Amino acid sequence: MFQTYSVFETKIIEATDDGMKEAQNEAVAMLQSGETVALPTETVYGLGADAFNPEAVAKIFAAKERPDFDPLIVHIASYKDLKEVADVPPEIEDAVKKLANEFWPGPLTILLPKTAKVPSIVTSGLPTVGVRVSGHPIFRGINQALGRPIAAPSANRFGRISPTSASAVMKELGGRIPLIVDAGACCEGVESTIISIAPREGKKPFFYLHRAGPITKEQLQVFGKVEKVKPGDKLQAPGQLESHYAPLTPFRLISKPEDFTPEPGKTYGLLSYKGEEGGEFVRMHEWDSVVALSPGSGKLAEAAIRLFYAMREMDEMGLDEIIAEPVSETGLGVAIMDRLRRASAS
């Protein structure tokens, strides 16, 4: 299912203002040599390799212990590079251009028919490839300097919490990869939105939502009708598996306070939306720890940024179980609830 990963002394290089060029050059040299590099994106840190080098891509699967049936996203430096990785059907070309003009660079991945240049290992044998242009200047700079597309899933072991900092990558993949480019915390916090496009004659196209993310249904609806891919549908994109993003600590999402009955002698932590004193979830139990996604304010954008950081923080507390309360399923809340449900399914 996956190769045995190599053992490395993992190096972290800071992409500071003074060290930007050095970090870029070192990352590009490593990618050119057929190795993997952990790179910052605006969503989460990704584990990158030259998308046209199947041996290099195989190292992604090995380091992450990722099953070979789960496809990877391919990142290009700009829209003009799309033709290298995707054969865009004429009937959706206009829709792709409009989406790219609006959301690229940014956290939107579009599923398109792949070109022959994209190795089968990247797409797990599927005829389509997920493509996006990262909005992170360091990732894009490395992408441009490499002059080739970069395959990059999240830089964590398969099924685990996605990393939003270089230190989180080190905890996940230290010793398994040669280099981490550290550019601080990610600014979005959840992985990209993934869609596919179906034309409708004389009408706006259908967008099939394969994974909720920072680009919301409301934003997409300006350009077409949005329909969510049903659970259990054939795997076509990353992030569709029912169980994903899970801490090692048992994790449970509850809909309402009465759904929780503590077991005597067990320690529990609450992953709270606002964390305010007097909130119904906070006051329903004497929690051993309460960690808030958006302390006091209840802002979905802040909650999304803090989600994986907060889950990782709680996973390291030695609790018997983590209980998560829901957030409003509007806008970014759809992506947050998607990650909480998948983590709870483990």
pLDDT at 246: 86
Query: Which are the contacts of 121, defined by CB distance < 8 A and separation ≥ 6?
Result: 54, 57, 58, 61, 68
DSSP 301: H
Q: Which of 257, 276, 278 is nearest to 268 (CA)?
A: 257
pLDDT at 90: 96
The burial class, CB within 10 Å (0-12 / 13-18 / 19+), for 9 is exposed
User: What tens-digit pLDDT sequence spans the chain (346 residues)?
Assistant: 445 667 789 999 999 888 789 999 999 999 999 999 999 999 999 999 999 999 999 999 999 999 999 999 999 999 999 999 999 999 999 999 999 999 999 999 999 999 999 999 999 999 999 999 999 999 999 999 999 999 999 999 999 999 999 999 999 999 999 999 999 999 999 999 999 999 988 889 999 999 999 999 999 999 999 998 875 556 677 766 666 788 999 999 999 999 999 999 999 999 999 997 768 999 999 999 999 999 988 899 999 999 999 999 999 999 999 999 999 999 999 999 999 999 998 7
Domains with residue ranges and CATH for the chain: 11-85+112-182 (3.90.870.10), 251-344 (3.40.50.11030)
pLDDT at 1: 45
Q: What CA–CA distance (Å, rounded) separates 275 from 292?
A: 5
Q: What CA–CA distance (Å, rounded) separates 203 from 223?
A: 10
What is the three-class DSSP state of 78? coil
DSSP 24: H
List, as one string, the DSSP characters of 93-159: HHHHHHHHHHH-SSSEEEEEEBPTTS-HHHHTT-SEEEEE----HHHHHHHHHHTS-EE--BSSSTT
CB atoms < 10 A from the CB of 175, how many? 12
β 203-211/225-228 pair status: parallel
